[in-house]
Every structure is written in structure tokens, then in C-alpha cells.
Amino acid sequence: MTTLDMVVSRATEKLKAIGFKKKAGNVYIFEPAKGFLGWLGLNHASREGVVEINPVVGVKSQELENLLSSLLLEKPHPYLTPTISISLGYLMPEECYRAWFFKNEIDLPQVANLVEAVGLYGVPFINSSITIEALEQYLKSPKYAHIEHSMYRIPLARFLLGDKVNALNLCQQYLSGLGNRTDLAANRYRRYEKAFMELLK
């Protein structure tokens, strides 16, 4: 068993105790409220025999993400992608990148520290983000969502909150910002905008 396998096995056991269920790809979820998923990803990298774990926490609005998939004619995923996400370290008092390092079995007690941090800082963040209103505010900050991600979701949040006028205005502002771009991402947004316009009729 590799060091990463040992860390994930130990982490899975401890995360289960605070309500998280393991999915594929070292992703963990729980349901803090109907229609919302709390999300945790144990991002990892290995260098010179040392495994670095960067926990990322987030929230997925199933209603918003399923609607987006429908507009883009894409198959919705049951737990990917989170609507907002942030590296756990930025939710901790130091508000900076934080990783946990593991070289061998001697380091495994650190898993308890990692899971404790998830419980102390990640779970309260998730529980504070389980409304469309809260997600919309987080989507406006690059800390929680890159512009290429939020430009799809902020107009949808406005729509779900019953504000069709500003939903349309926001979508068109993002579309205008693409200018003459003809890359795949720009064309995908144009496809989204057309479907969104139909939704607003």
C-alpha cells in the first residue's frame, strides 16, 4: 500500500465519523440540506517520496448545477462540480494555503489533524453556504470561483431568485466581455446564452 493509499484509508475512516461519504477520485460529500451537497476533495501531489494533501471544500447546489447542465445539453453529474470551492487553508485563521505532508506511516497521526481542520473550518463554511443567496455572494469572489466558472452560475442564481431582469443583464455583460473570441470556451458560453434566453422567455 502506498503512502497516499494509507492516508486516504485513514482519512476516509475519520471523515465518515463526521458525516462524509467517500466517492470516486478522493472526493467526499454529505447533504447539509435538501438540494445541496457539502463537498471535500483531497487534492494531492507527490514529490521525492513525500505526499502533499491540499483539502478543498465546497458546496454544490444540485438545482443550479442540473439547470446549467440542461442548458448546455450535458449530462449532470451526481456530485461534481461544486458550485463554489476553496482551499481549506483559506478558511483557517491564517487565511493562507495550507497543505499536510506525509512521508510514511510515522506521519499518519497527522490525518487526525487534517480531519479536525475539516470539521472546525470546512463544515461550518459549508453549512453557512446552503442557500442560493449565499452561493451567489461567494460566486462574486475569485476566492471561491474563477470567472470562467461564475459567469455561468451568477445569472442562474439571479434567475432562481426570481430576478429575470438582472439575470439577463448579467448574462449579456459576460457575453459582451468575450469580444471576438472564437475559442471553445467562448463558443460554449454563446451556446449557454442562447439557451438561457429561451429559458427567460
CA distance 116 to 140: 29
Largest CA distance in the chain: 61
Same-domain pairing of 17 and 116: yes
pLDDT (tens digit, 9 = 90+) per residue, 64-73?
999 999 999 9
| Average pLDDT estimate for 81-99 | 97
Same-domain pairing of 107 and 142: no
pLDDT (tens digit, 9 = 90+) per residue, 7-58?
999 999 999 999 999 999 999 999 999 999 999 999 999 988 899 999 999 9
Last residue of a domain, one of 130, 156, 179: 130
What is the pLDDT at residue 195?
Answer: 97
What is the pLDDT at residue 149?
Answer: 97
What is the pLDDT at residue 49?
Answer: 87
Same-domain pairing of 182 and 84: no
Same-domain pairing of 30 and 50: yes
Same-domain pairing of 50 and 115: yes
Same-domain pairing of 144 and 126: no
Supply the mean pLDDT for the chain.
Answer: 96
How many distinct structural domains can be found in the chain? 2
Q: Are 3 and 111 in contact (CB under 8 A)?
A: no
CA distance 113 to 118: 9
What is the pLDDT at residue 107?
Answer: 83
Total-model pTM = 0.93
Last residue of a domain, one of 130, 145, 169: 130
Last residue of a domain, one of 130, 157, 182: 130
CA distance 54 to 51: 10
- The dihedral through the CA atoms of 188, 192, 193, 195 has a sign that is positive
Question: Has residue 93 got a pLDDT over 90?
Answer: yes
Same-domain pairing of 166 and 91: no
Same-domain pairing of 91 and 179: no
Same-domain pairing of 31 and 97: yes
Question: Has residue 104 got a pLDDT over 90?
Answer: no
Same-domain pairing of 71 and 33: yes
pLDDT (tens digit, 9 = 90+) per residue, 133-161?
999 999 999 999 999 999 999 999 999 99
Could you tell me which of 73, 63, 79 has the C-alpha nearest to residue 153? 63
Q: What DSSP character marks residue 79?
A: S
Query: Range of 30's domain?
Result: 3-130
Same-domain pairing of 74 and 90: yes
Q: Which three cell numbers stand for residue 65?
A: 448545477
Same-domain pairing of 161 and 124: no
